[in-house]
Amino acid sequence: MKRNFCGLIAAPFTALHPDGRVNLDPIERQMTCLKANGVAGAFVCGTTGESLSLTNEERCRVAERWQAVADKDFRVIVQVGHPCLADCQFLAAHAQKIGAAAIGCLAPNFFKPSTVEELADFCAAVASAAPDLPFYFYHLPVITGVNFPMLDFLQAARGRIPNLAGIKFTHENLLDFGQCVQFEDGRFEMLFGRDEILLAGMALGACGAVGSTYNFAAPLYIALVKAFQKGDWDRARELQFQAMQMIGLMLKYGVLVAGKAMMKFAGLDCGPVRAPLVNLNAKQTDELEKALERLGFYSYCVKVPGV
């Protein structure tokens, strides 16, 4: 079965100027760095990209720039989720207009669907604004508070969304994930979104993976994938445990704010985070870098071309 996406897909940070304005200049270097380190594509304007802290105009500019600089074999998925359906549709239509490879969509997270059928209807309305693009539902219940079984969603959505391609599954429910992988003989693409348990997702049949830590630690995960493919389970577990240590450290500081600091450590400055998030202070930044050094971060972080 032909797949739209395989391998590692990074969820890139949205670069900001020191005053908080969107900075498009680093995007080409971000794409070049990801590709040079074995990443197959980018899931832009997602959680890591602080999408719901950006205006629609900013999100469009970011998506346009990623699509403009992407090589033909580097594929861009645009996340179009928004609490307002009309805004989702606007962003979806824009993604199709600029030639993106696909769209993803978070569940509305203020007024929420009360049934899985209501969620499927909402997604159908979004997907209809970009009928030529594959549509992926972005399952992130820890943030959205919308937590229906995704097997039920596939059953409800398959007849409502002609361009439904699959799910970006960012959750720990491996039973549900595995059932979705098997649904209708693997008809839908299941992109795994939990970097800290990527090995479990691959063992259950993930066709690809979308994650924030692939921005700065792609070589670690590429090695993990290769070990898994060779059947070297001891090595694969060892590498997964390294990733767990790194992510466990990030959780102490806040994954997104720590992640932007780590991008700078690796040699690609994406600037600050946007309020209400708060940047690390100098003491925290120094503590984080020293702790990462002890974990061997610089032995597996990305190599930024030109740095």
Structure tokens at 42: 């980018």
What pLDDT does residue 72 have? 87
pLDDT by residue (tens digit) across 236-265?
999 999 999 999 999 999 999 999 999 999
Confidence (pLDDT) at 4 = 81
Is the model's pLDDT at 126 over the cut of 90?
yes
CA distances from 184 to 171, 181, 229, 269 (A): 21, 9, 24, 44
Q: Average the pLDDT over 195-199 and give the result.
A: 98
Contact 54, 238 (CB under 8 A): no
Whether the predicted pLDDT of 124 surpasses 70 = yes
- Show Cβ contacts of residue 136 under 8 Å, excluding neighbours closer than 6 positions: 77, 102, 103, 104, 105, 165, 166, 167, 168, 189, 191
Query: Is 168 in the active site?
Result: yes
* Phi and psi angles of residue 85, each rounded to the nearest 5 degrees, phi first: -60, -45
- Is 306 inside any structural domain? no
pLDDT at 306: 75
Residues 260 and 284: beta-carbon distance below 8 Å = no
* pLDDT average, residue stretch 28-38: 97
pLDDT in tens, 62-118: 999 999 999 989 999 999 999 999 999 999 999 999 999 999 999 999 999 999 999
Which one, of 94, 95, 151, lies nearest residue 120 by Cα? 151
Spatial separation of the C-alpha atoms in residues 77 and 106, rounded to whole Å: 13
Domain count across the chain: 1
CATH code of the domain in which 72 resides? 3.20.20.70
Residue 172 has pLDDT above 80, yes or no: yes
Residue numbers of the domain that contains 51: 7-300
Query: Distance between CA 158 and CA 169 in Å, rounded?
Result: 17
Considering the domain boundaries, does residue 307 fall inside one?
A: no
Reply yes or no on whether the pLDDT at 276 is more than 60.
yes
pLDDT at residue 150 greater than cutoff 80: yes
- Confidence band for 36, pLDDT divided at 50, 70 and 90: very high
Structure confidence at residue 255 (pLDDT): 96
Would 204 be classed as within a structural domain?
yes
Question: Considering the domain boundaries, does residue 1 fall inside one?
Answer: no
At 1, the pLDDT band (50, 70, 90 cuts) reads: low
Does the N-terminal peptide bond of residue 219 adopt cis geometry, omega within 30 degrees of 0? Answer: no
Per-residue pLDDT band at 155 (split at 50, 70, 90): very high
Unique residue bearing structure tokens 């959780």: 251
- Residue 23 domain flag: yes
In a domain, 53, yes or no: yes
Q: Please name the residues in contact with 288: beta carbons below 8 A apart, sequence gap of 6 or more.
A: 249, 253, 258, 261, 262, 280
Q: Has residue 305 been placed in a domain?
A: no
Distance (Å) of CA 262 to CA 47, 85, 292: 17, 34, 9
Q: What is the pLDDT of residue 62?
A: 98
Provide the whole-model pTM. 0.96
Establish how many alpha carbons lie within 13 A of residue 70's alpha carbon, considering only the half-sphere containing its beta carbon. 23
Tell me which of 35, 136, 168, 221 is the catalytic residue: 168
pLDDT of residue 307: 65
When pLDDT is cut at 50, 70 and 90, the band that residue 3 belongs to is confident
Q: Pick the catalytic residue from 35, 136, 138, 221.
A: 138
Percent of the residues in the chain that have a pLDDT greater than 70, as a whole number: 99
Q: What tens digit of pLDDT does each residue of 205-238 get?
A: 998 999 999 999 999 999 999 999 999 999 999 9
Residue 160 lies in a domain: yes
